[in-house]
Structure 1
Amino acid sequence: MRLALLLLWAVSLAAVPTDNPCASYELAWTSEIHWDNVLDITTVDGQNWDAKIATGQEALTEQGGGVLFFPAGEYVVRETILLKSGIVLRGADPVEVTKASDVAFAPGTILQFPAYAPSFEGEGTANDTAFKGIHLEDVGTASNCGLVHLQLNHAHIEYGETEDHQAGKNRLVVGCVVQNAAVPNDMVPAPFQNQWQRFTKRDHAALQAYCGENMLLANNRLPQADANFIMKDFKMYMDSRSKTNVLEHDTIFDYDFRPGIAANQFALSAEATPQNMPWGFRRGLVIRDNFIYGSGGPAILFTGDGTICSFNVIRFKKKVARETTVGIHRGDITNHVRAIEMRGHRWTVEGNHYIVYPNVGPIGPDGDGIMHIAESNTAVVDSKIINNTGNAYIGIWRVPINGLEIRGNKVATDSRHGAISVLGATRRHETIFSVKNVVIAENETINSGVMVVGDGENITIRGNTYKGAKGKNMLWNFSGAETVVDNVGFKLHSRNLARSKK
C-alpha cells in the first residue's frame, strides 16, 4: 500500500512541470518568471473553469506570481480570460511531436471557448456570445506573463498597451495552437446590409501582442480554420470605394482572413527615430519557429529595433476570393497578403520558409514575400534578410537605406519587380534616396532577377545565381554600385540613376 502511494505521488509530481520551457531560446529575461511556483488548476475551488482560473490567478498573485498549470484534458471556458501580471497559463508539455511546424503538433491541454453560432435572420447572433480571447488585465503594467503549451479553440490572443503606449515587459506565447481565431469587424453590418451579416476585422491578428521590452512568440501553430461558414445573399457594394450598386453574393466568414501574428504593430514615418517615437523601436522582440496559415493580411507583421524573425513556416491558400468588408475589390485596393512585413531598425529575418498567393481580385500590391515598405515606415538601418526560401519577392520598397545584407536566399517568382528588389526611389524616380552599405550576395533567383535603385554608396552585388526562363534574368543596377561580380546567369543593365537626375 505504501509503495502504491509513493508511486502515485511520484507520478503526480512529475506531471506538474517546474522547469523554464523557454530555456533553449537563451533569453535571460525568461528566468525572471516564477516557473517553480506552480498551482494545479484542478485543485482550485470554483463552480466552473472561469471561476477556477480567476481564483487561481489571485492565489498566485498573492505569492508573487507563478504558473497556473492545466493538466492534459479539455477545459470549457465561457468568457475572455484576463491574464494578470506575473502569471503564466501553462498546459501539459507535448510528448511526441514538439515542433509547431509539424501537422501533428497538438498540446494535450485544450481550452475550448464559445464558438459563434450564426443566425441568418433579424439582427443575427450577438457578437458577444463568442469571439472571446485571452487579454491582459492591466495592459500598461502586466509583465512576466504569458501562455505556454495550450490549444486555444475559438479564442484570439491580445496583449495590449495603453493609449499613450505604456506596456509592461517580458511577455510570451510559446508552444500554443490558435485556431478559429478572429475578431468581428465593427463596420459590418453597415446600414445597407442585412443586420445578421458578419465579417472579420481585417487588421486584428489572431495573435496580437504589444510589449514594452522583451517578448517571445515562438513555436506556435496557427492552423487552417475548421469553423468557417457561408453567408448567403451577403449584401455588398459593387465598388467599395464609390459605394454604388448593391449586389448580393454568397460570402464566406473566414477566420483566417486577418493577420497571423502582429507584434508591436505601429505606423511609423520617414522621420521616426527612437527619440521621437520610442514605442516604435522597442527592443527584445523574438518571433521564431511558428507555423502560420492565412488567407488574407500579413502572416507576420512587426515593428521594433533589433527584432529577430526566424525559422517560421508560412502558408497561404491559393485562389482565395474575398470581399473587402462592404464591397468588392476595385483599383488598387489590396488585402495586404504577404509573408512578413518589417518596420523599424536592425531587424534580422532569417531562415523562414514561405508560400504566398495573392487573393483573386486586387491589382494593387498583394501576394508579397518579405517586405519593408515606405508606407507607415522608416528607413532601413543595419538589417539582414538571410537564408530564406519562398515563392514571392523580397522587397525593400522606396525608403532610404544605411546598412542591409541580403544573403543566401532562394526566391522563385515571376514578379516583374525582381525576385530581390531594393528600391531607394519613389515610384517615378522624382526622389532618389540614399542607399548605402548594401550587400546582395549568394542568392538564387528563379524566373525573376535582381533590381537595385538609389543613390548608391558602398554597394556589393556578388555571387548571385539566376535559374529559369530566358528573358527574365535581368540584373538592374540603377544604384551606381561598382562591385558587381561573379553573378551567374544574369543579364546586367547598369545606370547611375542618381547621377543622371542631377
Structure 2
Amino acid sequence: MYTSVGSRMFLVLATTLALLAGYATSTAATLPHDPTCGSKSDGPQDNPVASLYGNKSYPWTDNMIKWNCVYNIKDYGGSFESAQKAAMNNGGGVVYYPSGSYSFTSNIMIQSNIVIRGEPTTAAAKKGTEPGPLAPKTIFKCTFGQHIGVFNNDPKGTNFGIVNVEMDGCAVMFWPGLKSSSTNIKTYWYDAEDVIGMGQTKIVVGNKVHDVTYEHPNPEENSGIMWPWSFSTAIACYSDNNTLVANNLISKSTAKLKTTVTLDGDKMTVPYLVDNRYGIDVNQILLGGVAGKYLDKQCPKDWGKMTPSCFPWSFRRGLVIRDNYIYQNGRVGVSWSGMGDGKTVGSGTVVYNNHVEVAAGTTCWSHDGKKKMTGHDTNENRGYDQKGYDNNVTLNTGHINQQKAADSNYMTVDGEGILQQTENGNDALRNMWYKNNLYGGATGHLVFYKLYNVEYNYLIDNTAAANHMIGVVTDSTHNNVKNNVCQGNKPKCTGM
C-alpha cells in the first residue's frame, strides 16, 4: 500500500477544491446585442453555463458558439432547419425555443456551432438524493417508443449542445461516428469496426429528460413485440475534448403502461418498464462494440491491452458529468471513460455530485420479450460504471437495488454502486473515488472487478450499502494490485 498520507490528502483536497471553485450559482453578464446576426425576436444572450456555475468555471464555453447571435424559432415558422440554416450562414449561434410545447416525429439534426436553448432556468436538477425543482418551460415532445431526439449527423461535429429543455420521450444523441455497414442509426454500433470521429466541445445542461425508450427489443428485427430495447439511452454525449453534462434531471416515468407478450410459451400481461434504459453515457457504451473487434485485430492479444496508444477513444480529456439526478429501473445510471494527464490521480473525467436512484421492488420479466429472466441473468441495475484512467469520482450518491427475476424467487445479478470491470483488457490506474455514498439501497458494492492492473488508486471515505464491499475482486491470473490507498471507508477495504 502507498503510505504517503500527507501527499494523498493534499491531492484529494486540491482536486476537490478545484471542483468546487465554480459550484455556487453566479449570474453571468449578458453579452451586448450584435446587430449583424440573430433574428428580430431575439432571446437570451448570456452563456448559460457561466450563468449556472460562474464566469470562470468552464471558460471554454465562452467562445464555443456566438451566444449573442440568437435565432428565435418563431421567426422561422417553427422550423428548426430554417433557423439553424440562418445561424450557420452567419457563423453559428443559438436556436432559441421560447416557453411552449413543440412536437417532433423524427430526429432534430443538430450541426456544428449550434446550441439549442429553451427558456432560461438555473433551477437545480437534484436536491440531495431527491429530484430537484428543475422544470424547463420549453418542452420537446417526441413520438413515444421511437428513441428519437436531438442527433448530430456529422461524426466530427464540434461546438454544439442543448440547454434548458424538457425532453418528453426525446433522447439526447451526441453520438460518435463509427465505421459500419449498417445504415440504421440505432444499431450501427453493433457491427462497427472503427471510429471515424467524435468531435469536441459539447454541452448538455439543465434539461429534464423522461420516457425515453425504443419499444422493440431488437431494432434490427422490429418484431412488433412491445418491449423496451435494453440499449436505449436518455443522454449520450461523445467527445474528444471538453464536454459538460450537468444539472440534468432524468426523471421517473409517470406512464402506467402494460404489454402483452409470450415468454417461454406463457402469454402474460406485464408492466412495460419505460425506465429500463441507460441514463447518462459519456464515451463508453457505443465504443464497446468497436473495442471488442478493434483490439483483437490491432493490439497484442494479451491482458491489459486497452491502452491510450491502442484504443485512444476511451482516453479523452476534459469530460465533466456533474449535479445530475438519474432515475432508472434497469441498466446503468452513469457510464463513462476518459483520461487526465496520465500521471496525476483524479486528473481525468470528473463525475461529481450526481445521484442515481435504481428503483426498488420492481420485476424484470425479460430482456428480449421472448424468454423469462432467471436468477443468473443480469439487467445490470448499476449506479456508476467507469473505464479509462485517472477518473475523479467525488461526492456522488446512489440508492442501488436489484430486480426480481420474472416469476422466480431470485433477484437478477450485479447491482454495483461504482464499478470498473474486466472488459477488453481494462486497467485501473490513478483513479480517485472520494466521499461517495452508496448506502441506502439493498446493494451497491464499490469495486474494481477482475482487472489486470490496479495501481495508484485512491479510495477515501466512501460508504457502501450494508454488508457490501469496497475494494478489489481478483481472479487467479493476470492481477497486479499495488500502490493503492484505501482509507476511511465503510466498510473497510478488501483486496487492496
Q: How many residues align?
A: 400
| 1:406 is the counterpart of 2:432 | no
- Name 1:105's counterpart in structure 2: 134
Choose 1 or 2 for highest CA Rg.
1
- Name 2:354's counterpart in structure 1: 312
- Read off the aligned partner of 1:98 and give its amino acid letter: A
Give the Cα–Cα distance (whole angstroms) in 2 for the partners of residues 13 and 408 of structure 1.
Answer: 54
Taking structure 2 as the reference length, the TM-score comes to 0.76
- Read off the aligned partner of 2:68 and give its amino acid letter: D
Counterpart mapping for 1:1-150 below 5 A: 16-23=43-50, 24=53, 26-33=57-64, 34-44=66-76, 46=77, 49=78, 52-94=79-121, 97-101=123-127, 102-116=131-145, 130-138=146-154, 140-150=155-165
Higher-RCO chain (CA-CA 8 Å, sequence separation at least 6): 2
Q: Secondary structure at the match of 2:464?
A: strand
- Read off the aligned partner of 1:405 and give its amino acid letter: Y
Q: Kindly tell me: are residues 18 and 394 of structure 1, through their superposed partners in 2, closer, same or farther at Cα, counting changes over 3 Å?
A: same
**What are the ranges of 5 or more consecutive residues in structure 1 without an aligned counterpart?**
1-11, 117-129, 238-245, 454-502
Per-residue CA distance 1:37-89 (angstroms, 9 max, x = gap): 11111122x3xx3xx11100000001111001111222223321001111000
Per-residue CA distance 1:244-268 (angstroms, 9 max, x = gap): xx22222222221011111111335
Contact 1:81–1:135 (CA<8 Å) still a contact in 2? yes
Per-residue CA distance 1:351-388 (angstroms, 9 max, x = gap): 01100101112656422100011134511111100011
Give the Cα–Cα distance (whole angstroms) in 2 for the partners of residues 380 and 104 of structure 1.
Answer: 37
1:438 to 477, 481, 484: 484
Deviation at 1:331, TM superposition (A): 5.0
Give the Cα–Cα distance (whole angstroms) in 2 for the partners of residues 169 and 91 of structure 1.
Answer: 22
1:287 to 312, 315, 321: 321
Counterpart mapping for 1:84-483 below 5 A: 84-94=111-121, 97-101=123-127, 102-116=131-145, 130-138=146-154, 140-163=155-178, 164-165=194-195, 166-185=197-216, 187=218, 196-232=224-260, 234-237=261-264, 246-265=265-284, 266-267=287-288, 270-305=304-339, 306-322=348-364, 323-325=366-368, 326-330=370-374, 332-361=376-405, 365-376=413-424, 378-391=426-439, 392-399=444-451, 400-415=453-468, 418=469, 420-423=470-473, 425-426=474-475, 430-431=476-477, 433-445=479-491, 449-452=492-495
Q: Kindly tell me: are residues 295 and 346 of structure 1, through their superposed partners in 2, closer, same or farther at Cα, counting changes over 3 Å?
A: same
Give the % identical residues: 25
Q: Secondary structure at the match of 2:455?
A: strand
Give the Cα–Cα distance (whole angstroms) in 1 for the partners of residues 258 and 411 of structure 2.
Answer: 25
| Cα RMSD (Å) | 2.3
Q: Secondary structure at the match of 1:345?
A: coil
Deviation at 1:402, TM superposition (A): 1.5
After the TM superposition, which parts of structure 1 deviate over 6 Å for at least 4 consecutive aligned residues? 12-15, 188-191
Q: Secondary structure at the match of 1:172?
A: strand
Contact 2:207–2:248 (CA<8 Å) still a contact in 1? yes
Contact 1:228–1:255 (CA<8 Å) still a contact in 2? no
Q: Secondary structure at the match of 2:426?
A: coil
Contact 1:179–1:223 (CA<8 Å) still a contact in 2? yes
Give the Cα–Cα distance (whole angstroms) in 1 for the partners of residues 362 and 305 of structure 2.
Answer: 37
- Read off the aligned partner of 1:335 and give its amino acid letter: N
Q: Kindly tell me: are residues 188 and 62 of structure 1, through their superposed partners in 2, closer, same or farther at Cα, counting changes over 3 Å?
A: closer
Taking structure 1 as the reference length, the TM-score comes to 0.75
